[in-house]
Structure 1
Amino acid sequence: MGPSIQIAANTQTGASSGICRHPRASARLRPLIAEVGQRSGEFPDFLANHLPMVLEALGRLGATPERLEAYARHYTLAHAVPFPPPAIASLTDQTWRLALGQRERETDLRDYFADVVSHIGGSQAIRDHLPALLPGVAASATHGLMRLAYAVMRRDETEIGIALGYWAATYLAFPPTADAPTVTDPVEQMLSMQAEPSLRNITVSSTLLWKWIEAAGRIPAFQRHLGQLVPADDLLVRIRQASLALYAGTMSFEALHALTGSHWVRLVSPHLDRPQTLATHFWEVVLSLYTKIGMPDLPSAEMLDAWRALPVPPDEAIASAAVASDDEHDHSLVFSALEEYRHTGDPLYRVVAARRVGLID
């Protein structure tokens, strides 16, 4: 596929969904998230704790209170999710940046951001502090961004503070670059990586996604792509379309995070003065994950349109299948896909959601 190909459908916003919350779920959901949210953002060994976020997703997909509670118990026990480490020392406006990327400072950073949010509110805390965190959006394989996005969606001030602390403690940035951006097409940028032989031979001893991201960032051929994307006003739209095409074509674990992450970027962006900066840093993480799935071509426009025309079960059936699953990535993908369908009207989101939970081939 050439880089200039059109990968987006002609869509309109405001697509409807027939999914309804269980009438008793909302009252149980917030205290349950508050309870599980006291645990660490990661569990052994350095895996992201999805529970506060996927409980919200399950609730919005129609889960009963009983299902929410059962899943919370299952997840916490199955993954031995710990509480954060003991506090080391208080942080201030002048010192918190010194703790970036230090997982042992998770409690200190959570306490710092809880105090900030209590004084100026969650939205202002994001606006003031996220510019320093944006280069490290790969934190815990972008799950710091996920936690913040869900906290924003729920208007949960406590979770906003926790999410900022989690992002800061697991901060992971690529090497800085002083080059001026010149690339306007994120798809063109991604496909141009196929010509780099060194990007096809990355070896990482860990199975952790963020370890792959970290390793890719050390490769000179990859570093040449950093800081190159022009932060245009329509960048998130183009990244969203490219991420959807990449996931539809591969249905891979890595591309799943590109699709869901585009949703998270959309949720957080209204709280930033320069949201395009978040989009550019996020796309660089997607580029690093692109190497992990072998840097495939994207599906043709004709193939994407053929998939869009496939018959798909109702949203309620897709949501029900996700709720029945114990895989947090089923919950995350289906919820984000249906939300992005409602936002964009692109039926391909419904197709990939149904495929993810096995309702269509």
Structure 2
Amino acid sequence: MTDTSGTDTSGTDASGTLDEALQRLHASGPERNGWLSNHAPMAVEALVRHGQAPTVHRWLDHYRHKLEDMPAHHSPVTAATWREALGDPARIADWTRFFERETTERPWRDVLAEWWPRLLPGIAGGATHPVIRTGHAVRTLLSTEESAPRRAELAHALGYWAARAQPLPEIAPLAPAPTAAAALDAVPPVPEQDGGIRARLAQLTAFPRWGATADPDTARGLLAELVTAATHRYGTHGHGEPIMLVHAATAPNAVLRALPALPRELWAASLAAAWAASAAVTAAYAPREGAAPLATTLTAEEVFARAAAHGDDHTIKFADTALDVGDPTALAAAVRAVDLNPPAF
């Protein structure tokens, strides 16, 4: 997988397009219709990173009808009251304002390190979108010049996560699996695969044992293995639910992107949470039968250009993760996502 620990000059946005896009978006809330996520900040970050900055404002114009204003504030979140506000979606604006203050007054890495272990148990909340948005924001701050809109984007992502944080049910351990791919294959599907993700996640009972380690470097390697396995698996199982199953890969990849900004002592717990999130999405939506794998001769740049032209936000974000994995099977999985998901344009 691509090393996300250093500066990626290819992601530098000399035109300022990313900051302009984020400023357009920060008047909007992270959801619409009371539950559906606003994917625009994540999609535009991926578009800019992969050389599609000239398309960003046109893409936002098409997406504009899906944006809603930031919800009303209720009461401030403080160091004394945050526990009672955690996981309360009515407090999205309160949490966003809290993290805007925090990331203005303190180094953003310090804020992230303090709140990461508090938020990690709720990684599946909001269908994993909050942690994915956080991963995009952290990647930008790690690899491009820091700016006020980019710090504000991290505040919005963390605020969304705090408001939607929701622990999974208690999960019993099943037989251990030797690899991430084998572990995903062994995840039992939920009994009733109807309804929304909250109804499905409530049915979770057990996952295979995989990835337990106390060593940070081992945890990072296993997390990269998980992202690769989930990305590859989409190529054969994405047809089960083409939109929702992208999160089995993009959620753990968001955690992987955040690791370089986190204290090493948090890496093992981050792996465990990422595995739980990926397994949960797999259990909720994966079909019982896989399809034949797809092959592609397209380059990484051609694959992402195809996803960008397709325009669907989930497809763009999945292609972004597939390019992080970078091998031919991952690129073919991204092409399959283009084929499976309805185009936005």
Question: TM-score by structure 2 length?
Answer: 0.80
Q: Determine if the alignment matches structure 1 residue 52 to structure 2 residue 46.
A: no
- Do 1:181 and 1:228's aligned partners in 2 also have CA atoms closer than 8 Å? no
Match of 2:307 in 1: 322
Is the aligned partner of 1:149 residue 2:135? yes
One-letter amino acid of the structure 2 residue matched with residue 34 of structure 1: Q
Structure with the bigger RCO (C-alpha within 8 Å, sep 6+) is 1
The range that moved more, 141-150 or 241-250, is: 241-250
Correspondence 1:130 to 2:145:
no
3-state SS in 2 of match to 1:26: coil
From 241, 255, 267, the counterpart of 1:275: 267
Map of 1:261 onto structure 2: 251
SS in 2 for 1:357: helix
- Contact 1:255 / 1:289 at 8 angstroms: preserved in 2? yes
| Aligned twin of 1:8 | none
Question: Is the deviation greater in 94-103 or in 289-298?
Answer: 289-298
Q: CA deviation at 1:217?
A: 4.0
Deviation of the 1:200 alpha carbon? 4.8
1:215 is the counterpart of 2:196: no
Kept in 1: contact 2:231–2:330 (CA 8 A): yes
Aligned with 2:160 (options 145, 163, 166)? 166
Distance 1:72-1:49 versus aligned 2 partners, 3 A rule? same
Matches within 5 A, 1:176-195: 176=170, 183=176, 185=178, 186-194=180-188
Shift of 1:259: 1.9
Q: What one-letter code is carried by the residue in structure 2 that aligns with 1:260?
A: T
Say if 2:252 is the partner of 1:246. no
The residue correspondences of 1:75-114 to structure 2 (distance < 5 A) are 75-77=63-65, 79=66, 81-114=67-100
Partner Cα separation in structure 2 for residue 31 and residue 245 of structure 1: 34
**Alpha-carbon distance in 1 for matches of 2:85, 2:110:** 21
Distance across 1 between alignment mates of 2:15 and 2:267: 31
Q: What is the identity percentage for the equivalent residue pairs of Structure 1 and Structure 2? A: 24
CA pair 132-183 structure 1, distance change in 2 beyond 3 A: farther
- Measured on the aligned residues, the alpha-carbon RMSD in Å equals 3.2
Shift of 1:229: 5.3
User: Alpha-carbon deviations, 1:48-92, whole Å to 9, x = none?
Assistant: 101011112122233253x31121121121x2x112211111111
> In 1, distance between residues paired with 2:235 and 2:286?
15
- Unaligned residue ranges in structure 2 (runs of 5+): 5-9, 142-149, 341-345
Q: Secondary structure at the match of 2:15?
A: helix
